[in-house]
Amino acid sequence: MKCNEDCEKLIFFCRYIVMCQIFIALAGGFIVITEQTAAMAATSHQFVAVVLAVESMFSSIGGAIGSTVAAAIWTGVFPQRLQLYLPEADKADYLTIYASLTTQLSYAEGTPARDAINRAYGDSQRYMLIGSVSILVLAIPCVAVWRDIKVKDFKQVKGRVV
């Protein structure tokens, strides 16, 4: 089976989307551990729970903002691109297709409608990834201003914390 030029472009972009998601997952994993360690090292033992709760609250707020931006991109890009890419015969049903994953999956792979759905998904995901990677760049200067705390010089607290 031979790919046409659009198929090759889609494969090219999919590789970069997967690469970006891997980078985001790795960076996110490292950031979570290091930010919690830094927060715990910056305070005394009795306030660790409070500091972690505040850190978690700000992480949740950031996640909510990110989800809101992603939803705005999704609802703005996907239906528009779906309407643009669908074949003329299916354009009248674009709202039904947009609203239901089951309907989207009912189209056989390789059909023009399914290719249009996949392409619209790809465009939406690309914009969401561009936004998330752009914001993730801000993490570098944020981490750079963290205080250098010599954790190896700390003495472990003995006893129970209640």
Stretches where the chain sits below pLDDT 70 are 1-3, 6, 157, 159-162
pLDDT at 159: 66
Q: Are 81 and 119 in contact (CB under 8 A)?
A: yes
pLDDT at 126: 92
pTM for this prediction: 0.69
pLDDT digits (tens, 9 = 90+) for 86-121: 999 989 888 999 998 889 888 888 899 999 999 999
pLDDT at 23: 87
